[in-house]
Structures are given as structure tokens and as C-alpha cells.
Amino acid sequence: MITIDTVAGLKEQMARLRQGGKRIAFVPTMGKLHAGHLHLMHEARQYAQAVVASIYVNPLQFGANEDFDAYPRTPGHDKVALLAAGVNVLFMPRDDEMYPRGRDAHTVVEVPCLSNELCGAFRPGHFRGVTTVVYRLFDLVAPDVALFGKKDYQQWLLIRLMTADLGMPVEIVGVETVRETDGLAMSSRNHYLSATERQTAPHLYMTLCSLRDRVLRHGSVTGEAEAAAIESLKTQGFRPDYVSVRRQDDLAMPRSEDKRLVALAAAWLGKTRLIDNVEFELKTGI
């Protein structure tokens, strides 16, 4: 595995791969890698001959009171894991390589409307930071395909919309969420949970499954069902930001004829913000 920390070095290596006729798959990460990340790397092998990963804790997607400084960084562990996963190139840039004119002066890329809903409503500017850094990385790597975990369903959809709107020749693949044995979605932030909180955390997924089952049983999405899910989370000790059932394709509120739905939630447990979602499909429209 070749590890690169400069834009010039990355561009040189990407040119070599393309000259060799290699199809390139790209998996961007913020490090603190777990089995879910490594699953993305293995899946990437199904789409291309060369796999490129990045590790960069992007400051633009953190709010003023969020955990940028405390975000877990484990570069040694991550390099060993990526090497074992068969990654060909690892890009680990510094801020001045990613944003040479400084964070505040860098051009931003934003998908309007959807960026400000759901998680975007509670984390202003977060998705603008995500789409800006992903656009920058896509421009540098020029991959044929990029893989993203669907745990952050809204992020995955926003990146799909961005690449389509801007005509970027990158296939965006969503990979199913990897879970612990008790159902908790794997996340780099799970290590923030105390032992007691870790026992409680799977209830987020369980609540979404119950909401899904209720919608499937009644064949309708109601505010009462979402409110009941929120109350259930509160009973377990969560502080929910939202629980909502949306259309899979665009996260709009579902209409009577819609069948392909996703239940999404974000909730705090102690000092840790957890997100999750469950996709499902009705036999007939709601």
C-alpha cells in the first residue's frame, strides 16, 4: 500500500493507475476505522482493480460546539487495517493540502434544500462541509466509482445528488450498514459511549424497526407513529433530534402512492449523537 500526504503525489499516483488501465474505486473516511469501513474496502474490490482510501478529519463539517478536536484519530491502527484489506493507495492530507487558501476562503459546494433537513436542521453547515470535501476529493482522485455506507443515508443521497447535478463521472454506490451482533450500527463515535450507554444504544435500531413494522402493519405513515417512536427513545434515556419516515429516493415526505420508504432517526445518548435508518417497502402505496 502506498501512503501519500500531498496533492501532487496523489495526482501522480492516480495518473499511473489510469495509464495502467486500472479502474479506480474510492472510499473516503475520517479514520478510526472499524469493521464497517473495512467492509467498504472489500466491497470496493468488486467494482475496480485499484482501491484508493482517504483518511481526513474534515474541519468544514464540524460545528462550533462539535467534537472536531476530540474526534478519534488512530492512524497507525488504520494503516495496518487498510493494508490487510488490500487497499492500494491511502491519501492522508494535511489541511493546507486540502484547503491551500485556508478553510474560510475555500470555495464551497452545497446541495440546497435537502442539506438543511433532518440532520442538516440540527447541524447547520454540516452537509455543506461534507459535499465540499467530497467534491475536492473526487476532483483529486477522479475515481470511476465511490462507495459510502448507508448508515448516514442523508449523506449518501446528497453525494448522489451532487455528482448528478454537476455531471461528475463517478458511480456512487451505497453499501448496507454493518451492525454489531445486538443491532447497533457500527460508528467511530460508538467509543464515546459509556458501558451503560453501550447497552442502551441498540434501542435506536430497535425503535426504528418497530416504527417500520407499525407502518407496514397499518399501511400508513402518521405523525402519531413517529411521535410514539420519539417517546420510546426518551423512555430509554435518549434525547431525540428527530424520527421521521421519508421516501427513499429523495427524503421527501411520502405521498399516498409511495412504496419505497426509509425510517430515519438521530438521537443523543449522553454526549454521543447516534444516527440510524431502516429501509422498507410497502406492498401498496400508503
d(CA 187, CA 158): 20
Q: Is 218 a catalytic residue?
A: no
Where do we find the cell 493540502? Answer: 97
The distance of Cα 50 from the centroid of its chain, to the nearest Å, equals: 22
Task: For residue 168, give the C-alpha cell.
Answer: 461528475
Where do we find the cell 482522485? Answer: 141
Q: At what angle do helices 153-165 and 126-141 cross, to 10 degrees?
A: 50
CB 155 within 8 A of CB 129: no
CB 268 within 8 A of CB 193: no
116 CB-near residues (< 8 Å, 6+ apart): 124, 127
Phi, psi of 101 (to 5 degrees): -95, 10
Name the catalytic one among 34, 37, 191, 218: 37
Q: Which amino acid is at 270?
A: G
Residue 226: count other Cβ atoms within 10 Å of its Cβ.
19
d(CA 45, CA 40): 9
d(CA 242, CA 66): 18
Q: Is 277 exposed, middle or buried (0-12, 13-18, 19+ CB in 10 A)?
A: buried
Nearest to 85, CA basis, from 43, 25, 141, 32? 43
Q: Which residues are marked as active site? A: 37
